[in-house]
Every structure is written in structure tokens, then in C-alpha cells.
Structure 1
Amino acid sequence: MEISRRPRGRPKNAMDRFIAAIEWIAAGFVGLVALDIFVSVMLRYLFAVSIPDGYDFGRMFLGILIFWGIAATSYRGAHITVDLVWDLVGPRLKRAIDVFATLVLLLVVTVQTVMLFDKVVATRAQNILTYDLQLPVWPFFALAWAGDAAAVILIAVRTFRLVFHPERVREGRSLEPVE
């Protein structure tokens, strides 16, 4: 028996590293939103000043965070679910329900991604700018779209793994190695 020198939580292959990177990006945007709020509040209450376009940045960072969060939670299966029927059925039907639900999620998020891309293109064409600094808004929308596109990729990977390698998908613990 060969003993692996790899730490237990470390991703095993390129796809698992990609999934981990998506989760880190989502976590980074959580930190960025929290930092923006903290700095804005401290500046407002301690010095009576505000960050130029602070509201716009906060709003756009929150949108980016939501789409990257969708990517992270969709693969992990850590989003809110209602498992009343799923709990009552056997393992084969549970797997069928999981595959069906993931295919529906894939369809919905794919349509959402296409529509969001249209919004990015329209925002760029309209040359929408922030209020104070007159920065273009479309790069923020594009970053949100990239998170949504990552969600499509991760949901497709989850669907593939549910169908062909169900042992590779662990609810809420996607990066834990499977023995």
C-alpha cells in the first residue's frame, strides 16, 4: 500500500485545483466587500469623508461576489435544498434526482450566463460610467459574467461526475480526497 505525501485537503488534479481557485476567488470577493464596507464606515464616521464611488464599488463588488458565490456553491452542492422526497427514496433514485436537479441548474445558469453576457456588451456599448471617478462599469459586469461562466463549467463538471464518477462528488466537501 502506497502512502500519499499530499496533505488531506489538497486538490488531486487540474479540475480540483480549478474548483479550489473558484472557491478562493469567491472568498476573496467576500473579503473585498467586507473591506469596502469597513473602510467606508470608518471614513464616514471618523473623518466625515467617503471613498469616491464607494457606493458604486460596493454595489458592483457585491454583484461580482454573488456570481462567483453561485459558482462555488453550485459545484459543492452547498446551496439551500429541500430534500423531503430525496430522503425517502433509495440510493439509485437519489442519484437520479441529483442528476436531474443538476441538469436543471445547468440549464438555468447557462441561460443566465448568456443573458448576463448580453448585459455586459450593452453596458460597454452604452459607455456607462461611475458617478465620481467616471470609470467604465462594464469591466465589473464582465468580472461578474466570468463568475457566472465559471458556474456553468463547474455545474457541467458536477453533472459529469454525478453521472460517471459519483464517488468524486461529496456534498459540501468537494476537495476532500476520495480513497
Structure 2
Amino acid sequence: MTVWVFRLAKWSALVGGLVLVALTLMSVASITGRALIGLGLGPVPGDFELVEIGTGVAVFLFLPWTYLRGGHATVDLLYDRMPAAARKAVSMACDLLMLALWVVLTWKLWDGMLEKREYLETSFILQMPVWWGYAASLVGALIGCLAYLTKTLINLGLAQYPQGWPVQHAGGH
């Protein structure tokens, strides 16, 4: 199971990267269009809306892989001086709290998506249904729940890192 979750998180991050590349290209086209209005060009309609939604989606797609790779910011001032058992307890507590946070976040994204869909809320310029952004972000949130659950199971000794996984990149806390 862990191999599947790690691969899913990695592919999720790659998709998030493609979303950001697409947003960057669209922003360049929009800015260029604005600069060349005198030549009959113009900005991409709804560029701010697309960047707003796309960035949120990309962040949700990046976070599970960032977590599994140990890429979150940490404060090691006291942690490095703690005994191994205390470090493990702090790490486990942090993982459990983050798992709970991700579950609540995913639940509220689900509720928000249903509400936006029920009331047919749309973006101002493109008139795009707002719930689409919630649904795309929900995919990353669900993968995040799986990542935090998997890492918690690994820390409890109920699962193992995928074979060949460099544990030093898995983050200690």
C-alpha cells in the first residue's frame, strides 16, 4: 500500500507542476497581450480567476509529496537536543495532529464544494462554476490524507517505506 501512496503523491506533485507551468504561460500571454493592446491584442479574459483557482489546486497537489519527502519547514532548536524517544513522540504527535487537520480540511472542502454547486456560484468574469476548483483541490486533499495516514502507520511500525526509499528524505518531524 505504501508504494501506491508514494507514487500517487509523486504524480500528484507532477500534475501540480504542470498546472503551474500552464498558469505561468497563460500569465505571460496575458501580460504580453496587455503590453501590446495598441496592436490589437489584449489580456487573457479571466486570467486572475484562473491563477487564483489554479494556484490553490497546485498547492493541494504539491503538499502530500512535500510531506513524504520531509520538505516542510521545521524548527530544530530543541528537537535535535531531545532524546530519541522524545523525538519519536513529538514526531508521532505532529503526524497525528496533521492527519486530523487534513481530515477536517478535506471534509470542509467537500462541504464547500457541495454548497458552491448547490447555489450555482460562478466566477465573475468567466462564469466558471466555483465548485470545479474545490473539486480539483479535493483530489489533492484526499491524497494528503492518504500520505499522512501512511506516514503515521509507518511511524507506528504497521507499514514500511517503499523499498529503496531514502529514509533521510522522509523527514523526521
TM-score, normalising length: structure 2? 0.82
For the pair 1:43 / 2:33, whether they are aligned, the reply is yes
1:106 CA drift (Å): 0.7
Q: Secondary structure at the match of 1:84?
A: coil
Q: Which runs of 5+ in 2 are unaligned?
A: none
Tell me how far apart the structure 2 counterparts of residues 13 and 66 of structure 1 sit (CA, whole Å): 22
Q: Give yes or no for the alignment of 1:170 onto 2:151.
A: no
What is the SS of the residue equivalent to 2:156?
helix
* Alignment match, 2:20: 30
Mapped to 1, the partners of 2:6 and 2:62 lie a distance apart of 17
Could you tell me which amino acid in structure 1 is paired with residue 12 of structure 2?
A: I
Contact 1:22 1:68 in 2 (8 A): yes
Partner of 1:110: 103
Offset, 1:88: 0.4
Is the 2:61–2:137 contact (alpha carbons within 8 Å) kept by the matching residues of 1? yes
Give the aligned CA root-mean-square deviation in angstroms: 2.4
Q: Is the 8 A contact 2:92 2:155 kept in 1?
A: yes
Alignment partners' CA distance in 1, 2:34 and 2:137: 28
* Distance in 1 of aligned mates of 2:98 and 2:139: 17
Q: Residue 59 of structure 2 corresponds to which residue in structure 1?
A: 66
**Alpha-carbon distance, 1:21 to partner:** 1.2
Q: Which runs of 5+ in 1 are unaligned?
A: 1-11, 175-179
Matched, 1:155 2:158: no
Look up the match of 1:134: 127
| Structure 1 residue 29, shift from structure 2 partner | 2.4
Residue of structure 2 equivalent to 1:145: 138
Show the counterpart of 2:85: 92
Pick closer, same or farther for the CA change 1:132–1:19 going to 2, 3 Å.
Answer: closer
Deviation at 1:131, TM superposition (A): 2.7
Q: Which amino acid aligns with 1:158?
A: K
| CA–CA separation in structure 2 for the residues paired with 1:163 and 1:173 | 15
Question: Following TM superposition, by how much is the alpha carbon of 1:25 offset from its aligned partner in structure 2, in angstroms?
Answer: 2.0
The sequence identity of aligned pairs, in percent, is: 20
TM-score normalized by structure 1?
0.79
Deviations 1:74-94 (A, max 9, x none): 222211111222100233322
CA contact (8 A) 1:75 1:151 kept: no
| Separation of aligned partners in 2, 1:112 and 1:15 | 19
2:120 and 2:67 mapped to 1: Cα distance? 32
Taking a change above 3 Å as real, the CA distance of residues 17 and 71 of structure 1, as seen in their structure-2 partners, is closer
> What count of residue pairs does the alignment treat as equivalent?
163
